[in-house]
Structures are given as C-alpha cells and as structure tokens.
C-alpha cells in the first residue's frame, strides 16, 4: 500500500466516525436548545412517577409541546430532553390541558380538562409502557 492510500483510509474513517457521532447527537436531542421543564408529576403507590413535561422554544418556528413520561425519579432538564427523542414518551400532544392521575399502581390515566384533544394535535400515543397500562379521558385515540 502506498502512503497516500493509507492516509486516505485513515481520513475517510475519521470522517465516517464524525458523521456517525453527529447523526447520533442529532437524533437524541443534543442540538435541541429548547427549554424543558416538568409541569406536573404524580407518584404511584408502586414508586413510579408520571411526569407531564413541557418543551418550549423562543425560536420563530418553535412552539410548545407537552409529553408524558414514566420513571422512577423526577427527571432533570437534560433527562427530559433526551427522553423526548427516545421511545420513553407515553403521550405527546400540543395541548396544555393535560392531567395525570393513577388508578392503582399500574394504570396511568392521562386526561384533558379542556377541549377534547383530537387526532390532529397528538404526536404520539401509547397504550402500554412496560407493565403500566395507559388510559385516556377526553382524548381521541390515534
């Protein structure tokens, strides 16, 4: 092998590693500069906590997004950011009228105390997270 060919291979490998790292960071929220905060939380008798989080943005195209997570502790802003870009989101919508309550240790009820949340305003919706069943009140099923 020539010296130029070896240097080219090392350079191409370095570019590939940087591209993979960039894509990983892009799809896991590392470049999202929005503000993340917990708006409501509710502990279950099974030591699980349901969190209603808000993502807000001061950018012209940004807006408010509300999403529900279930965990074993209250999440920090960084954990909220990374969870939004993961499979951990139980429910996500553009409505700020969401409420959380537990019906026993394994049933989480996500409700809406305002106008009904219709399908057009729902980003994601799950019926189950681990061993926790999710029920909806005044929210359309997507």
Rounded (5°) CA angle 116-118-121: 115
Average pLDDT taken over every residue of the chain: 86
Could you tell me the pTM of the whole model? 0.78
Please report the pLDDT score of residue 19 as a whole number.
74
Of 4-8, 38-42, 73-77, 121-125, the poorest mean pLDDT is in 4-8
Of 7-11, 25-29, 113-117, 133-137, the poorest mean pLDDT is in 25-29
Q: How far, in Å, CA of 11 to CA of 1, rounded?
A: 15
Please report the pLDDT score of residue 29 as a whole number.
62
Give tens-digit pLDDT for 76-130: 998 998 899 899 999 999 888 999 999 999 999 999 998 888 888 899 999 999 9
Q: Are 132 and 68 in contact (CB under 8 A)?
A: no
- What's the pLDDT band for 141 if we cut at 50, 70, 90? confident
Is the model more confident about 114 or about 49? 49
Measured in degrees and rounded to the nearest 5, phi and psi for residue 131 equal -95, 15
Q: How far, in Å, CA of 112 to CA of 138, rounded?
A: 5
Q: In what order do the strands lie in the sheet with 35-43?
A: 35-43, 49-56, 65-71, 91-93, 122-125
3-state secondary structure 55-101: EECCCCCCCCEEEEEEECCCCCHHHHHHHHCCCCCCEEECCCCEEEE
> What average pLDDT does range 4-22 have in this prediction?
77
Please report the pLDDT score of residue 60 as a whole number.
45
């Amino acid at each position: 092998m020539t010296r130029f060919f070896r240097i080219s291979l090392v350079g191409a490998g370095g570019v590939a590693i940087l591209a993979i790292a960039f894509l990983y960071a892009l799809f896991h929220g590392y470049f999202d500069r929005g503000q993340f905060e917990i708006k409501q939380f509710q502990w279950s008798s099974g030591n699980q906590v349901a969190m209603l989080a808000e993502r807000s943005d001061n950018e012209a195209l940004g807006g408010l997004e509300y999403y529900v997570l279930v965990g074993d502790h209250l999440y920090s802003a960084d954990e909220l950011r990374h969870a939004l870009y993961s499979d951990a989101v139980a429910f996500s919508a553009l409505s700020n009228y969401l409420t959380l309550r537990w019906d026993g240790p394994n049933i989480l009820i996500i409700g809406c105390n305002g106008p009904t949340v219709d399908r057009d305003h729902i980003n994601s919706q799950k019926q189950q997270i681990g061993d926790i069943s999710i029920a909806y009140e005044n929210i359309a099923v997507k």
